[in-house]
Amino acid sequence: MQAYQQKAEVVSTEKVTGDIYRFTVKAPDIAADARPGQFVMVRAGDGLDPLLRRPFSIHQVAEGGLVQILFKVIGKGTQAIAGLQVGQHMDVLGPLGRGFVHNTMQEHYLVGGGIGVAPLLFLAKQLLKKNEPSAIRVLLGAGTKAEISTLADDFENMGLGVQVSTEDGSLGKPGLVTDLMVPLQNENKVMVYTCGPYPMLRAVAGVSSDKGWACQVSLETIMACGLGACLGCAVLRADMNGYVHVCKDGPVFDADDVAWL
Ligand SMILES: Cc1cc2nc3c(=O)[nH]c(=O)nc-3n(C[C@H](O)[C@H](O)[C@H](O)COP(=O)(O)OP(=O)(O)OC[C@H]3O[C@@H](n4cnc5c(N)ncnc54)[C@H](O)[C@@H]3O)c2cc1C
Ligand code: FES
């Protein structure tokens, strides 16, 4: 699989809420090859600080060679990216990694937590090409309404059924996203696709296993190279007998292949 390095022009910026942004860049080669669940490594401008690119899921691609990322400002790298204006450029490398595997399951549950919702919109669009909207269910969890309401609208505007949980109860069911999963009964073959913080992924993998649903998880680790060269993104395999590398073997894994520590 080929990765491209592009000086991508920023064509639109959106402040979704507080410290969450959605940026669209022109990166035609990456847009043409990208698959849901893959990621890009991004650096703002040509400066030396921060030196390393930062990993972001591909949020959406669109006609005209457009690639979108949805990101939360955490530290120096994301702050520098958030400071870019339309017409400026970012250094983008991708598409990288292995994304979600589409299969012939009868129903598809997309389970996102916080900024982990990012890759699920692209996945939903792809699934809709081969499935009725009724076969796709979206379950989103966040701390507050502000963090999730715009993103929930995006899925609803695609005609999908969306359920939301917030920890402060400001939107949807008060509690965690797994509280939305537990009551679901389904005799059909279900695939769960999930992305979010590690404790949430572990809990989603656990509920899926209890229910007999297959589950793919998109893992996040700190990444230096994103290309399999530095070995800094290693996570323990389920058999505790060696490691997989999130940037090269993932970021999407079958939940059964990961040691949930
Ligand atoms: C495959 C992949 C996809 C990702 N997709 C997205 C996305 O779509 N949107 C998004 O907002 N973020 C995403 N992330 C996380 C994002 O890469 C980090 O938030 C970013 O690198 C932080 O960079 P920074 O320079 O702003 O912060 P830094 O200055 O590098 O870090 C600030 C603090 O955050 C910690 N930190 C940095 N990265 C992570 C991480 N991945 N997990 C937990 N703690 C971290 C550091 O240890 C440090 O304490 C993804 C990560 C991976 C591996
Ligand atoms: S980030 Fe360097 S090997 Fe994965």
| Ligand 2 atom closest to Cα of residue 55 | 1
| Ligand 2 atom closest to Cα of residue 223 | 1
Tell me, in angstroms, the distance from the centre of ligand 2 to residue 18's CA.
Answer: 30
Q: Does residue 231 line the site of ligand 1, with CB under 6 A?
A: no
Residue ranges covered by each domain of the chain: 4-96, 107-218
Tokens for 246?
A: 């999130």
Tell me, in angstroms, the distance from the centre of ligand 2 to residue 116's CA.
Answer: 20
Question: What sign has the CA pseudo-torsion 119, 120, 121, 123?
Answer: positive
Would the pTM of this model clear 0.85, i.e. be above it? yes
Give CA–CA dist 192/177, Å, rounded.
13
Given this model, what pLDDT does residue 51 score? Answer: 74
Q: Does residue 235 line the site of ligand 2, with CB under 6 A?
A: no
| CATH 2.40.30.10 applies to domain 4-96 | yes
Q: Kindly report the CATH class assigned to 107-218.
A: alpha beta
Three-state secondary-structure class, residue 76: helix
Tokens for 113?
A: 């937590």
Backbone angles phi, psi at 236, to 5 degrees: -70, 135
Tell me, in angstroms, the distance from the centre of ligand 2 to residue 133's CA.
Answer: 36
Q: Does residue 115 line the site of ligand 2, with CB under 6 A?
A: no
188 CB-contact burial (10 Å; exposed 0-12 / middle 13-18 / buried 19+): exposed
Tokens for 160?
A: 């999908």
Along the 261 residues of the chain, how does pLDDT read in single tens digits? 799 999 999 999 999 988 999 999 999 999 999 999 999 999 997 766 677 889 999 999 999 999 999 999 999 999 999 999 999 999 999 999 999 997 777 899 999 999 999 999 999 999 999 999 999 999 999 999 999 999 999 999 999 999 999 999 999 999 999 999 999 987 778 999 999 999 999 999 999 999 999 999 999 999 999 999 998 999 999 888 899 999 999 999 999 999 888
DSSP string, 174-241: ES-HHHHHTT----S-EEEEEES-HHHHHHHHHHHHHHT-EEEEE-----SSSSSSS-TTEEEBTTSS
- Residue to probe by mutation, ligand 2, list 96, 231, 243, most atoms within 8 Å of CB: 231
Given this model, what pLDDT does residue 48 score? Answer: 64
